[in-house]
Chain A
Amino acid sequence: MKKIWILARMTFHEAIRRRIVLTGLILGILFLVIFSVGFRMISTEIAKEGENRPAMMARVMQNEMSSFMLNAGLYAVAFLSVAMGALLSADALAGEISSGTIQTVLTKPICRSDVVLGKWFGFAGLLALYLLLMAGGVVLIVFLQAGYIPQNILTALLLMYLEALLVMTFALMCSSAMPGLATGGTVFGLYGLAFIGGWIEQIGAIFNNHTAVQVGIVTSLLFPTEAIWRRAAFEMQTSVATIVQISPFTTLSVPSVAMVMYAILYLLGTLVIAVRIFQNRDI
């Protein structure tokens, strides 16, 4: 356990030294500034529109707009966290094996699983910080400017974290078996597949096309990222949006709690396979 902690700390330390954290921080703040300015402009327009309408109506309009902008912001954050997770771990094991830096580490009295788990915890910590900064920032901006807080925000954030962890773990598993570039290609390919599968499911749900919905479910089983995001969006969804079903972030076919459980098991299974592959390979 102590060795896992040493290696997790090393992973964290490396990310700071290699300026990954700094770059993420600068771009993250830039993102939040732009989001904040954009939100202010749209918010002002909506407020002007609302002046001539009943107060109740103006309130609903303001809330719906806030919810829509918040969802758009969080969707971007979810994608960035996924990309961060994939980029962090795609070359993690593969890179160290090919350069040989792993050799002095693995010839110490440690288990190979310590190395995989150490990296995993290190990356998980980094992703938590990143998500907290970005998603927390988006939620805070919307709250400060419009006084709006979506329902179930904590559940939604945890689901977003699960999505990022899923991609990071999957990339780590690939990285224990193949080169970094191949890992990156595989992970983003699957992410794209899940994304388009999700949309097919959504549109299929509008027309009550069961085959299309099935296609979506199958891609979600293959790679549950998009399903988890849609569950997160559903958790935060306003009741008006559910009834009207208009915006691109409105969830029509809601992934079940079983799908969330499946994603958690998927993550654990991926981690176990990552450890197994790494334990059995020649360095």
Chain B
Amino acid sequence: MTVAAIETEALRKVFGDHAAVKGLTLQVSQGEVFGFLGPNGAGKTTSIKMLLGLVAPTSGKANLLGAPIGDRATLARIGFLPEHFRFQDWMTASEFLMLHGELLGMDMQALKKRRDELLERVGLAPFRNKQLRTFSKGMLQRIGLAQALLNHPALVFLDEPTSGLDPVGRRLVRDVVHELRNEGTCVFLNSHLLSEIEVTCDRVAFIRHGEVVRVLELATLNGNQSVVTIRASGWTSELVAQLEHWGHDIQFTGEQLTLTVHNEDSIPEINRFLVAQGVNVFAISPSRISLEEIFIETVGKDGGL
């Protein structure tokens, strides 16, 4: 059995009398791209900081790549892009990568090669000798991303990796995440940009008040599933029940009915069925379920405040 990339059990952090993370129980496999979603103040960043040993958990257990958190040898196999990407701004881009590579204990020759590769990859090669203080927000995020990938990590934590980026930069992050997945790297992504999460992640966990409230495989979401709204008259309760053949989550409000279908291709079939049964159909409109809807449904409109 391969070890999980991340495994936590009732991980908890209390600041004073406020529980920032109530009890995080989570399992992320190696090679998986995992989205960590939740409203502001849900304890996402604190959770990441606990996993990386920056914040000591009040109670609970966690393993990264099979070793308990805080294990230094494991940190050499991990990459991290922090949320606010504030770095040693008096260094040049090149010096910054060299420093972090040295702290990782990388071999000098390999490090120089890797530095050049990554500067090229994140599009900062022309700015390698510029001090970070002259960098824009987006450039800082790019150099931070390069820093997180220096050691070819087995597990990368990206905390809001696209918050400072323009569409081109976001595309870059998305492509980098895809590359990492192909290389078998586990990516732990904390982001508010649900559209980004939707296209990059294999699975997501929804966090509220520092607890996992739902874990979702995005493959099912990205399939052909959609919510169909049918406006019609002449319904009978047997008819409504029979619709279960094509979908689930049926909600009926007298004139309007919504159901989630397994496959959009079945919509014409549903129409033919209803007409044949003598129902007056005025409209059938399918809509894809977005991650945003699931997010709001899961964490609530108040955002868990």
Residues from chain B with Cβ under 8 Å of A108 in the complex: 75-76, 100, 103-104
Contact A110 B90, beta carbon cutoff 8 Å: no
Q: In whole angstroms, how far apart are the Cα atoms of A192 and B34 in the complex? A: 56
Residues from chain A with Cβ under 8 Å of B56 in the complex: 280, 282
Residues from chain A with Cβ under 8 Å of B131 in the complex: 17
Contact A104 B54, beta carbon cutoff 8 Å: no
Q: In whole angstroms, how far apart are the Cα atoms of A107 and B73 in the complex? A: 11
Contact A101 B54, beta carbon cutoff 8 Å: no
Q: In whole angstroms, how far apart are the Cα atoms of A10 and B83 in the complex? A: 23
Contact A283 B49, beta carbon cutoff 8 Å: yes
Q: Is the C-beta of B84 less than 8 angstroms from some C-beta in chain A? A: yes
Contact A103 B104, beta carbon cutoff 8 Å: no
Given contacts A100-B86, A104-B87, A104-B144, contact A109 B105 (CB under 8 A): yes
Considering only CB atoms, which chain A residue lies closest to B73 in the complex? A109
Given contacts A3-B103, A283-B54, contact A107 B90 (CB under 8 A): no
Q: Is the C-beta of B294 less than 8 angstroms from some C-beta in chain A? A: no
Q: Is the interface of A mostly helix, strand, loop or mixed?
A: helix
Q: Which of A7, A17, A104 contacts B80 (CB 8 A)?
A: A104
Given contacts A3-B103, A282-B56, contact A109 B76 (CB under 8 A): yes
Size of interface on B: residues with Cβ below 8 Å to A: 30
Q: Is the C-beta of B82 less than 8 angstroms from some C-beta in chain A? A: yes
Q: Which of A7, A101, A109 contacts B87 (CB 8 A)?
A: A101
From A104, A106, A110, A283, residue with most partner B Cβ within 10 Å:
A104
Q: In whole angstroms, how far apart are the Cα atoms of A106 and B53 in the complex? A: 8
Q: In whole angstroms, how far apart are the Cα atoms of A17 and B87 in the complex? A: 15
For window 81-103 of chain A, which residues contact chain B by CB distance below 8 Å? Answer: 99-101, 103
Contact B86 A17, beta carbon cutoff 8 Å: no
| Interchain Cβ contacts under 8 Å between A and B, 14 examples | A6-B103, A7-B103, A10-B88, A13-B91, A99-B86, A100-B86, A103-B54, A104-B87, A104-B144, A105-B100, A107-B52, A107-B78, A282-B55, A282-B56
8 closest Cβ pairs, A-B complex: A108-B103, A17-B90, A283-B54, A109-B75, A282-B55, A109-B76, A100-B86, A109-B72
Residues on A close to B: CB < 8 A? 3, 6-7, 10, 13-14, 17-18, 99-101, 103-111, 280, 282-283
Given contacts A104-B82, A107-B52, A283-B54, 17 further A-B contacts (CB under 8 A): A6-B99, A10-B88, A10-B99, A14-B88, A100-B83, A101-B87, A106-B53, A107-B53, A107-B54, A107-B80, A108-B100, A109-B75, A109-B76, A109-B105, A111-B72, A282-B55, A282-B56
